[in-house]
Structure 1
């Protein structure tokens, strides 16, 4: 239940923040919006996967990414149902919620709406959204579970 609850919370937060940034802040017109000396909101349309890898300009590539993301979400959901480990379920839930959030963007906009940018002077970390942050946190949780907790459970 924890994994599915986190997936739903992630999905709702992701879509709510995207709608707010896009519609309420009218970010495509008002960008950049500087929040702090190291954080601003800008618009980036990501037609690839994480960190802008494998950019897809055509509909075929977009649909391949949509199908792969949906299949991954289904597979990870099966894993959530089968696990009893709380961190593993939570991590998988974050990934599923983030994946579904980004699929919605690809279906609605044709690309993923990224808008949060951390930067230090001219150096900038990649532009992301709540779904991306959840996916990264979920992967970190999976790695921790795999390399640290799995060995402890096996004893």
Structure 2
């Protein structure tokens, strides 16, 4: 897979990711939802931390949320350079198409969420009880590196009470699949799944 095709794949994913996020951010109030199907909704939330809303400060109590957010965003920026080098190296070594495609997907997804974390706090105002404005005159809702990642894809495939005989969770209300995510998250997950499922083909050794 050539460098041009990799860049095209990354560009397409980034465009779809950012267009969907900007549309939701500028047309929905926080926690608004639209039912597309009974099992799929557009549900606008914002993620301040890592995957599933986890924060560094949840594990390290002496770090404030803002310091943790700055550290997390800075780490993401550094990590994207590492992923970019991995992609360039794989292309240069003429690695398998699966490996290059997987790295390109991970790179595009990581970059898409980094754009939110770095810039969205500056270029948008708050979405609480109002529809956000792009480049508001009064300024954004936060400073550089403190933006929130926009999530909107929600697939509640099943909702109901679990059987009483189940240990620990019996009788409790359960939703599958509960996490809300975005296109960038899908790209990252797809890339990692490709590396796991097609591991031997992705990392095949030439004679």
Shift of the alpha carbon at 1:43?
A: 1.7
Please identify the structure whose Cα radius of gyration is greater: 2
Of residues 93, 97, 110, the one that matches 1:99 is 110
Whether 1:148 aligns to 2:185 is no
Shift of the alpha carbon at 1:54?
A: 2.7
8 Å contact kept, 1:3–1:92: no
* Residue 62 to residue 30, structure 1, CA distance change in 2 (3 Å): closer
Counterpart for residue 115 of structure 1 = 152
8 Å contact kept, 2:24–2:44: no
* Residue 58 to residue 80, structure 1, CA distance change in 2 (3 Å): same
Of residues 76, 88, 91, the one that matches 2:99 is 88
8 Å contact kept, 1:91–1:139: yes
* Residue 151 to residue 93, structure 1, CA distance change in 2 (3 Å): closer
Whether 1:52 aligns to 2:40 is no
- TM superposition outliers: structure 1 runs of 4+ over 3 Å: 150-155
Structure 2: unaligned runs, 5 residues or longer: 58-63, 122-146, 160-174
TM-score, scaled to structure 1? 0.86
Shift of the alpha carbon at 1:21?
A: 1.8
Whether 1:5 aligns to 2:58 is no
Counterpart for residue 185 of structure 2 = 132
Give CA deviations for 1:81-104 in whole Å, capped at 9, x if unaligned: 111221111111111111111111
Aligned residue pairs, count? 152
Shift of the alpha carbon at 1:142?
A: 2.0
8 Å contact kept, 2:98–2:202: no
Whether 1:66 aligns to 2:73 is yes
Cα RMSD of the aligned pairs, angstroms, is 2.1
